[in-house]
Structure 1
Amino acid sequence: MTVTLITGANKGIGFETAKQLLELGHVVYIGARDVERGEKAAAALGARFVQLDVTDDESVTGALATISSAEGRLDVLVHNAGILENGVIDGPTALRVFDTNAVGIVRVTEAALPLLRKSSNPTVVTVSSSAGSFWAVNNPDRPEFQLPVALYSASKSAATMLTVQYAKAEPGIKFNALEPGATATDMTAAFGIGRSAEESARTVVRLATLEADGPTGTFQDEAGELPW
């Protein structure tokens, strides 16, 4: 059985990714800050729940310790937790966005590495965004060209770069980032855009189920590798 942890998985793309991976036979741990919402989501899917706030070191350590005790390893880690904060641009807001969208990746990855190294096919997938791509935000034909989300974009640039650097530092583990496509979630409600989370989750699932000789250090969408 493939053991998978998905952060921020009580709703949206994370929830749909959990659902699809469960259908493929994975043992899925839903990580969520809110215990009540996380437990409700896990119960609805038949998944397992761990309280996990990616901005809190103790919470992250506790979540991975729980998985270690129950499973002894981790095969797939999906970094899905993220926030938008498309209003005020100031220091406290920037710290909050980067703490969740970038530093959170470091916290969870570092805590998960010992368990990932015990897997025969360890895989890490980061739900990033082309809003953090120089190519996309400077291309008038791309929707990211018009998005006024400076802090989110900058934090997603960091998320993709962390993916590349971890892939280089840990050649035995596959690290890939993805652009999930404009998705109708709570986070994007203000823009009134997007397709279903179920559709966007398919790219996450594809990267989460790569064979052992699959690619690493890439940034992809549903059609394949993207410029960045």
Structure 2
Amino acid sequence: MTTTLITGANRSLGYETARRLLEAGHTVLVGARDPERGRAAADALGARFVEIDVTDDASVAAAAADVAAREGHLDVLINNAGVLGPHGPADEITAADASAVFEVNVVGIVRVTHAFLPLLRKSAGPVIVNVSSGMGSFAATHDAGRVESRPIAPLYTASKAAVTMLTTQYAKAWPDVRVNAADPGYTATDFNGHSGPQTVTEGTDAIVELATIGPDGPTGTFRDRHGTVAW
């Protein structure tokens, strides 16, 4: 049985990813920082709730200890938790705004990955999926024909570019772990007021694909539901 932890799994893409992986036969751990919402989501799905705040060292350490005690190992880690950041004009962005966004979207991935890597290495085929975005792609954001070229969100886009590069570096550093980045695409979620043209199921296609690869699967790639994303 494949054991999978998903951060930020109490709603939207994380919740749908959990649902689909449960359907595929995974043992899913629903990670969320809010105990009430996280437990409600896990109960609705038939999964186990793990309290985890990706911005807090003690919370992440406690989550890793919980999984170590209950499951003893981890096969798949999906770093899904993320924030959009401020909506105001670029000239109003502050250093504090930047710190808040990067603390969740980038530092959070480093914190969680570091804590769970020993458990992943107990798996015969460890996999990490980092949820990135085409909004962090130079190619996509400079292509006038793509929706990613229109929004102006300096902190979110910069953080997602960092996530993709972090993914490639981890993949090079750890040949024993499959580490890939997924671009959900413009999906109807709470992030965008449910304005995206893709369903939440379509938005999780790349995440689920990368979460279910075998030991000989790709590593260091950046993919959406249509294939490799130009970066």
Structure 2 stretches lacking a partner, 5+ long: none
> Counterpart of 1:206?
209
Does the alignment pair 1:142 with 2:143?
A: no
CA contact (8 A) 2:189 2:195 kept: no
CA contact (8 A) 1:85 1:151 kept: yes
> Counterpart of 1:182?
186
> Counterpart of 1:77?
77
Taking the TM superposition and a 5 Å limit, the aligned residue runs for 1:49-198 are: 49-88=49-88, 89-189=93-193, 192-198=195-201
Question: Secondary structure of 1:119's match?
Answer: coil
**How far has the Cα of 1:196 moved from its partner?**
1.7
Report the aligned-residue RMSD: 1.0
Give the one of 217, 220, 223 matched to 2:223. 220
Percent identity between the aligned chains?
A: 55
Structure 1 stretches lacking a partner, 5+ long: none
The residue type equivalent to 1:68 in the other structure is A
Q: Which aligned segments of 4 or more residues in structure 1 are displaced greater than 6 angstroms? A: none
**How far has the Cα of 1:79 moved from its partner?**
0.7
Give CA-to-partner distance per residue, 1:24-76, whole Å, 9 cap, x none: 11110011010000000000000000111110111111111101111111000
**How far has the Cα of 1:224 moved from its partner?**
1.3
Quick one: distance in 2 between partners of 1:146 and 1:200? 19
The residue type equivalent to 1:192 in the other structure is S
CA contact (8 A) 2:202 2:225 kept: no
Question: Secondary structure of 1:78's match?
Answer: strand
Q: TM-score, normalised by structure 1?
A: 0.97
Q: TM-score, normalised by structure 2?
A: 0.96
Q: How many residues align?
A: 227
Quick one: distance in 2 between partners of 1:10 and 1:42? 7
